[in-house]
Amino acid sequence: MKFDTPATANPTDRMKVLGQPIDRVDGKLKTTGTAHYAYERSDVAPDAAYGYILGSAIAKGRIESIDDADAKAAPGVLAIVTYKNAGTVAKAKAHTARMLAGPDVQHYDQAVAVVVAETFEQARAAAKLLRVTYARTAGSFDLEAVKASATKPKDGTPDTAVGNFAGAFAKAAVKVDERYTTPDQSHQMMEPHSTTAAWKGDKLTLWTSNQMINWAVRDMSETLGVAKENIHIMSPYVGGGFGSKLWIRSDAVMAALGSRAIGGRPVKLALARPQVMNNTTHRPATIQRLRIGAQKDGKITAIAHESWSGDLPGGGPETAPNATRLLYAGANRMTATRLAVLDLPEGNAMRAPGEAVGLLALEAAMDELAEKLKMDPVQLRIINDTQVDPEKPSRQFSQRDLVGCLKTGAERFGWNKRNPVPGQIRDGRWLVGMGMASAFRDNVTMKSGARVGIDKKGVVTVATDMTDIGTGSYTIIAQTAAELMGVPVDKVIVLLGDSSFPASSGSGGQWGGNSSTAGVYAACMALRDSVARKLGFNSTDVVFEDGKVKSGNRSVSLSEAAGDAGLSAEDSIEFGDLTKTYAQATFGAHFVEVGVDSATGEIRVRRMSGAFAAGRILNPKSARSQVIGAMTMGVGAALMEDAVVDKRFGYFVNHDLAEYHVPAHADIPMQDVFFMDELDEKSSPMKAKGIGELGLCGVGAAIANAVYNACGVRIREYPLTLDKVIGKMA
Ligand code: MOS
């Protein structure tokens, strides 16, 4: 099904099942420990051996020698694979660094060897007996130091310029020109990267933890030189990804190599928590400069956003200026993205890449502008709203209700009680402040396919290689099929995460919810047609409800229509030009109250509230969970998360969850989430948009703005740890 004209009335509008806050259909499996994760496949691989990866002890240079004599002789060891005996291990096009080092080393903790043994403990112990010598060469590890050498990225990230920014900024009555920095961050999802791999002849099976099954097949094929049709990947349950599992990592490659080395017997391999930090990917640190010029009435006349980040040679930039291109009006504007070479582990996508860190700067700068204008920050954003792409005014937004979010959010939060003068409100030892920020995230759509069948019992089965990374895909796909086929949710079986199923959008960039359900919609529409045809019904007036197919005064049960053989249909949704002819994005407004300890500078978030506009909300319960999770991640970005670089040796020092801090329950207060009642007909037949990343975008800036309002200290270097606050408090 091609989606290239806006959706009109369709069966999703019934909202009998869609739009309802139903419980996760996979909830019981998850909470009873009966969902099989990649490392727990004793059901299919009871005889698995264990793999343990030894990572490089240097960031850049060469392996000079590997002495594996002691490791080989260690108890239980079955095989040791290094670049010397691995066979072909190429760099997939999607990867920046190879998954196996040797002889050259591209980053710290890059895999140097996998030890396969009968038990995990034996594999780990033997790995410690490997003696590897290196010739270290100097590397670049400090973004600030290499900033001046940064160049325009070759990946197509454009510089943008409209009007005359420099002239308009020079003449602006009120100006902000500030620099903000954001640190390297690590995904640190609950489930580390893990894989169980097995070979039968030249056929490879991987049970792994991955967001994008068809990319995973492609990248495994490129890496090992194995034909795609000989690779079967399954990833039915994923314990979080946040972008770190968009591409296969060393666990998958090294488990496959390890299994091949022992004749195809399954090998299971999980990265240890510290390896997640240095062996895989991270969100790159940024340096950003924001300049905004406005008239005295608050209208923006000039806005510029420049960003610098680094990556390994051949890598890509953090596209921090994304949101600034579309969020506010202003006739004179420019953005620039610059990329420097750093020899740290590969930088890559982490939840809302671009916007998440871009808004930490933009929305803090807007707060500084509001203060200079003596204008309410909500009002400043309202008067600079735009209904067209400010870089290309002939292009409208498909749907944009930022103003609705700002007004509704302010009302629900009680923004009118805020004292605009910093440092005025006390609660015992706590200085209390309120801050806000806009939320913005692109709405991306991706081709997505599915197969849907009905059996003689009237049970509907959906199969697609879509993944559920904790987001609720199983549930919204079940709701979509139930709505379209007119059956209750418990009559739908959803099968996900298997490369033998039709290729889907996968989970990434908050495109999965809308795109994958639209693919299921396409397959259901095809199935409805074939049911109608089989019954001789007129497909224009046919209705699917209560487990029946009805047309005029005829009614046949679905099970009867399916017959003994059952019926099935496969289709995909393909998105046309609507994402180009219209700017498509999701919007919101965050409001936060914080307390700053007047004695210690400790910051506690006291209240969070947000209003969001993201098209139809397919399931308000799972969507709310996505948003509160993202808001929680935003608290981490604002106050805690900081992958500290050892600038001498080039690695992230705080490589475990004791030292890389993320919010825990006690850090998170009551979170209020409100969804605007909205449909976006230009986004998909589901009239929905992405929601998984939006909640992260802007919330950290709202916290920083609240800290300023509480105690009068502006911190422009995230995260806002107490050491940065305490010295500056009056
Ligand atoms: Mo997201 S960073 O595309 O998983």
Angle (CA) 283 497 623, round 5°? 60
Q: What is the pLDDT of residues 486-538, one digit of tens each?
A: 999 999 999 999 999 999 999 999 999 999 999 999 999 999 999 999 999 98
Q: What is the pLDDT of residues 642-681, one digit of tens each?
A: 999 999 999 999 999 999 999 999 999 999 999 999 999 9
Residue 730 scores a pLDDT above 80:
no
Among positive and negative, which fits the CA dihedral 295, 361, 157, 518? negative
Residues 523 and 642 grouped into a single domain? no
pTM above 0.95, yes or no: yes
Res 539: pLDDT: 74
Residues 602 and 659 grouped into a single domain? yes
CA distances from 16 to 12, 90, 618 (A): 9, 50, 11
Query: Checking DSSP bridges between strand 104-105 and strand 651-652, what pairing results, if any?
Result: unpaired
Kindly state the average pLDDT of the residues 401-428.
Answer: 98
CA distance 269 to 259: 10
**Residue 610: which pLDDT band, with cuts at 50, 70 and 90?**
very high
Residues 561 and 592 grouped into a single domain? no
Take residue 721 and report the two structure tokens written for it: 């740890």
243 CB within 6 A, ligand 1: yes
241 CB within 6 A, ligand 1: yes
71 close to 127: Cβ distance less than 8 angstroms: yes
Query: Checking DSSP bridges between strand 231-234 and strand 267-270, what pairing results, if any?
Result: unpaired
696 close to 612: Cβ distance less than 8 angstroms: no
Amino acid (one-letter) located at 41:
R
350 CB within 6 A, ligand 1: yes
**Mean pLDDT over all residues of the chain?**
97
Res 538: pLDDT: 83
Residues 413 and 453 grouped into a single domain? no
Q: Which of helix, strand or coil describes residue 438?
A: strand
Take residue 74 and report the two structure tokens written for it: 């260690």
Amino acid (one-letter) located at 414:
G
Ligand 1 pocket mutation pick from 351, 466, 514 by most atoms within 8 angstroms of CB: 351
Residue that is last in its domain, among 545, 578, 611: 578
Q: What is the pLDDT of residues 319-376, one digit of tens each?
A: 999 999 999 999 999 999 999 999 999 999 999 999 999 999 999 999 999 999 999 9
Evaluate whether residue 529 is within a structural domain: yes
Residues 431 and 525 grouped into a single domain? no
Tokens 């993201």 map to which residue? 614
CA distances from 464 to 221, 235, 247, 307, 580 (A): 21, 12, 18, 38, 27
CA distance 487 to 186: 42
Q: How far is the CA of 575 from the centre of ligand 1 (A)?
A: 20
Evaluate whether residue 89 is within a structural domain: yes
Evaluate whether residue 160 is within a structural domain: no
**Catalytic residue set:** 693
Residues 596 and 481 grouped into a single domain? no
Res 691: pLDDT: 97
Residues 232 and 125 grouped into a single domain? yes
191: Cβ contacts below 8 Å, ≥ 6 apart: 37, 38, 209, 238, 239, 240
CA distance 194 to 574: 32
Q: How far is the CA of 33 from the centre of ligand 1 (A)?
A: 26
Tokens 């440092």 map to which residue? 423
Q: Which of 132-136, 154-158, 631-635 has the lowest mean pLDDT?
A: 154-158
Amino acid (one-letter) located at 276:
V
Kindly state the average pLDDT of the residues 553-582.
Answer: 96
CA distance 312 to 339: 10
Residue that is last in its domain, among 534, 563, 578: 578
CA distance 484 to 476: 12
Q: Which atom of ligand 1 is nearest to the CA of 353?
A: 2
Q: Into how many domains does the chain fold?
A: 3
Q: Which atom of ligand 1 is nearest to the CA of 242?
A: 4
Amino acid (one-letter) located at 322:
N
Q: Which of helix, strand or coil describes residue 533?
A: helix
**Residue 218: which pLDDT band, with cuts at 50, 70 and 90?**
very high
Among positive and negative, which fits the CA dihedral 11, 16, 17, 20? positive
Residue 683 DSSP label: T
List, in sequence order, every residue forming a beta bridge with 292; answer none if it has no partner. 176, 303
Please compute, for residue 255, the number of CA atoms within 13 A of its CA located in the half-sphere on the CB side.
31
Q: How far is the CA of 509 from the centre of ligand 1 (A)?
A: 4
E-assigned strand segments in 217-358: 231-234, 267-270, 286-294, 300-311, 332-341
452 CB within 6 A, ligand 1: no
Amino acid (one-letter) located at 484:
L
Res 391: pLDDT: 97
Query: Checking DSSP bridges between strand 61-67 and strand 2-3, what pairing results, if any?
Result: unpaired
Res 277: pLDDT: 97
CA distance 730 to 721: 17
CA distances from 291 to 218, 301, 700 (A): 42, 11, 19
Rg (CA), the chain: 27
* Stronger pLDDT, 553 or 448, i.e. the higher one: 448
Res 540: pLDDT: 80
Residues 94 and 197 grouped into a single domain? yes
Evaluate whether residue 285 is within a structural domain: no
Residues 717 and 677 grouped into a single domain? yes
Residues 68 and 197 grouped into a single domain? yes
CATH of the domain at 70: 3.30.365.10
Res 316: pLDDT: 96
Q: Which helix (DSSP H) or strand (DSSP E) does residue 54 occupy?
A: strand 49-55
Nearest to 260 by CA among 229, 310, 223, 302: 223
Residues 81 and 128 grouped into a single domain? yes
Among positive and negative, which fits the CA dihedral 355, 361, 364, 369? negative
Range of the domain at 17: 2-35+445-578
Take residue 413 and report the two structure tokens written for it: 């939060």
Residues 10 and 93 grouped into a single domain? no
Q: What is the pLDDT of residues 261-301, one digit of tens each?
A: 999 999 999 999 999 999 999 999 999 999 999 999 999 99
Kindly state the average pLDDT of the residues 23-37.
Answer: 96
351 CB within 6 A, ligand 1: yes
Tokens 């169980």 map to which residue? 196
Query: Within 10 Å of residue 176's Cβ, how many Cβ atoms?
Result: 21
Q: How far is the CA of 508 from the centre of ligand 1 (A)?
A: 4
CA distance 224 to 257: 9
Residue 95 scores a pLDDT above 90:
yes
Residue that is last in its domain, among 273, 301, 317: 273
